[in-house]
Amino acid sequence: MARIEYDEDDIEDDDAADGGGPDWRRRLLTWSLAAVGLGLGFLIPYVLYLNHQVSQRFGELQWQVPTRVYARPLRLAPGLAMDTQTLKTELDAAAYHEGDGVRAGTYKVDGNRWTISSRGFRDVDGAVGPSRIEASVSGGRVASVRDVVGKREVGAVRLDAARIATLYGQKQEERRLVRVEDVPQLFTDTLQAVEDRDFAHHFGIDLSGMARAAWVNLRSGEKRQGASTLTQQLARSGLLGIGREVTWSRKFNEILYALIIEARYGKKTILEAYLNQVYLGQRGAQAIHGVAAGSEFWFGRRLEDLETQHVALLVGIVRGPSYYDPRRNPERAKARRDFVLANMLETGLIDQKEHDRALAAPLGITTSPGSIAANRFPAYVDLVRRQLARDYPADALQGAGLSVMTGMSPSAQAYAESAVTRTLKSLENAKRPSLQAGLVVTDVHDGEVIAVVGSGSPTEHGFNRAVEAQRPVGSLLKPFVYLLALARPSEYSLATWVDDSPVTVTLGNGRTWSPKNSNNRSHGSVRLIDSLAQSYNQSTVRVGMQVDPRRLADLINTLAGIRAQPNPSLILGSLDQSPYAMAQLYQFLASGGEIQPLHAVRGVLDPEGRVVKRYDKDPAPATEGDAIAARLVTQALQHAVTSGTGRQLVNDGLGRLGAAGKTGTSNDSRDSWFAGWTGDHLAVVWVGNDQNEMTGLYGATGAMRVWSGIFSRLPSSPLRVGDKGLDWQWVVQSNATDASCPGARRFAFVNGFSPPYQPCLPPTDPFAPPEEEGRGGWREWFGFGKREQAPAQPAPTTQDTTP
């Protein structure tokens, strides 16, 4: 082949003719390669850095989940005290809604029949499956409970509990984690139809979606549809630390993150992360994250209970929770919901009939955020924290994702709060100082605390008077003086005559103490039962000196851990205690002689629903002696309600409860107390003033009115005192006689200690000592054997009182 040679001048001429020839091409190529090299040199390390960030933050997928506090599950069983208003209160508190009774979380009312479709839940004794039951309520009781699916009568059912508080961690984020399979398919399909139709197919960014969004927005004249994929939205949600500011650098990072996430993880993982991370609203400092929390926040419903119109609105809010806030901007929110409904119809997720129904439906939001309040019941949650403190440091509970299962009854709590606010308002007058209150309501069967109010404004945070207030208890200690006396059946019975004439006690320091009755009158010889029912001071002091104040101090320490100086003034309540401490003391009487430690917490579950700790241990049965002594005192305090200081309760229409109760008033009417119980519940109430000023209230005119307000609404079984170990006799003076004998009264005696029978004979000397010798056995629990003389008394170390 001939070699072609070029003349250099020709080449130079050609280069000049081409504007520089090969030189500019070389320079362009060099600059391009340099730019690419520099770009890759920056991009590759940066992508590797972003990949590391994704691996750290997204790969572990660990959120700070708040600890949730729950009430006790509602138990329905034939014979349990219940009325329709209380049942509705309980269901509403647990986020049930009136509906068809078929969809989970709904109930249907037909006369006295309630069809309830419950949701499955986990409790301290394991998982409880969903059920559909029919409960009949009549005559203040549950008449029957029927399993609708199984078509059979059942002995008892439990319904999932209300959430009463949330303990957040450092991040004030409300979130309930869900799995994709737990989310209704209608929701996930609607979310993709509106926010990312090509989610299943794209690789992180969706070019066709961008074009479609541009067309929709251009046609509507406003931004109706975004171009970001769900993966891009997840990238900028805060999970990966990308801000929400609109800049090119943020958008660039968002796209890179989306591409990396899609390359590393499957669609299910990405969608699940989105469902738990998406921002859906704000309440104060609490950010609402995740579709489950959003459902509760806006509708007061669990995610699985949402209807079509709710799904559409919740998906619509995703675009802008503040802009489309249905509480502040209902018209804007409705327009957005209707747009989503149109998308659901267009994509075949719903038919025309369901579309039209949902379109006509109201937004369905709650007037206030549902089920997420950090602490709606401050006094009760304070008690919960105190009980858990010995096992969990405060920071170990907050944001730990635990479930704290308590004994609260939402209806009892609501009735207690209402009774406090209404009663204190009715007692206001110009001459009376500002009043406060504290109360505790318990279950007499197991010691669970079902309601606590710590302030005259029950939702007010701060000083918890139910637990922290230390106030003189006055006559509330008298029943325990008589409990000790009745533990000596050879010396004392309810029929025993006691002396209510003026009394003077010589103290250990040589001083004297001469307490008087509240009305400054003496009553001579009175029955022991009447002395307690009428709350006479003089006769009580005589009995108390016989049983010995030291044994009274030992008794209240044994029953409630209360430490007191064993001075004579202790007999009349020279002791400062809280309503909670007095509730623990009275639980012994209300439970029929069982020593039941009060507890607000039943147990703690970990995030997977496994039991970490249980507190609801069954109390030991009462011993025979304890049960008999408690029955006798209870009978006396039932007499106090029917004929003594608590008789206003009968006038209030509460005689049907057969309640037992004791009023208490401190010196100068500074403190008003009442402790009373029925067959199901005990409530101890204090009313007074934080500055210790005189209120002019007695136990019956202050605290007992609050108690009456609670039990006028709270379903509770009547108190029926058993006869085991007791012998009932008709008595005249100190003799057993016939029922037809004039003036005869019927009393219960400990078996073997009834008075001798004499048919309508003249009475014997009422102060003659009994012939029976003291006997051992069950009475030794109280430290008594044979009859003893009271030892010399130590000098009081507290100021003498005259309750």
Contacts of residues 586-589 at CB distance under 8 Å and 24 or more positions apart, as own/partner, are: 586/476, 586/675, 586/677, 586/682, 586/684, 587/442, 587/444, 587/447, 587/682, 588/559, 588/560, 588/626, 588/630, 589/479, 589/483, 589/630, 589/633, 589/634, 589/637, 589/660, 589/677
Q: Find, among 552, 560, 566, the residue nearest to 487 by Cα.
A: 552
Q: Find, among 91, 137, 89, the residue nearest to 112 by Cα.
A: 137
Distance CA 298, CA 702 (A): 41
Question: Helix (H, G, I), strand (E, B), or coil: what is residue 409?
Answer: coil
- The dihedrals phi and psi of 749, each to the nearest 5 degrees, come to -125, 155
Helices and strands (H, E) in the chain, number of each type: 24, 32
Distance CA 393, CA 20 (A): 80
As given in the structure block, the two tokens for residue 170 are 């450092």
Question: Helix (H, G, I), strand (E, B), or coil: what is residue 167?
Answer: strand
Q: Exactly one of 295, 455, 475, 535 is catalytic; which is it?
A: 475
Q: Exactly one of 90, 173, 174, 195 is catalytic; which is it?
A: 195
Distance CA 434, CA 291 (A): 45
Q: Is 95 left (phi over 0), alpha (psi -120 to 50) or beta?
A: left
DSSP string, 426-480: HH--TTSPPPEEEEEEEETTT-BEEEEE-SSSTT--S--TTTT--EE-GGGGHHH
- The dihedrals phi and psi of 609, each to the nearest 5 degrees, come to 85, 10
Neighbouring C-beta atoms of residue 781, cutoff 10 Å: 16
Q: Find, among 113, 116, 121, the residue nearest to 103 by Cα.
A: 116
The contacts of residue 207 (CB under 8 Å, 6+ apart) are: none
Are 709 and 418 in contact by the 8 Å Cβ rule? The answer is: yes
Q: Find, among 338, 311, 305, 666, the residue nearest to 475 by Cα.
A: 666
Tell me, yes or no, if 788 is annotated catalytic. no
Tell me, yes or no, if 475 is annotated catalytic. yes
Neighbouring C-beta atoms of residue 323, cutoff 10 Å: 12
Q: Find, among 228, 219, 245, 253, the residue nearest to 319 by Cα.
A: 228
Q: Using the 8-state DSSP alphabet, how is residue 765 labeled? A: P
The contacts of residue 547 (CB under 8 Å, 6+ apart) are: 481, 484, 485, 488, 790
Are 404 and 377 in contact by the 8 Å Cβ rule? The answer is: no
Helix axes 330-346, 185-195, angle to 10 degrees: 100
Burial profile 329-366: b = 16 or more Cβ within 10 angstroms, e = fewer: eeeebbebbbbbbebbbeeebbeeebbeebbebebbbe
Distance CA 128, CA 143 (A): 23
Distance CA 275, CA 651 (A): 58
Residues catalogued as catalytic: 195, 475
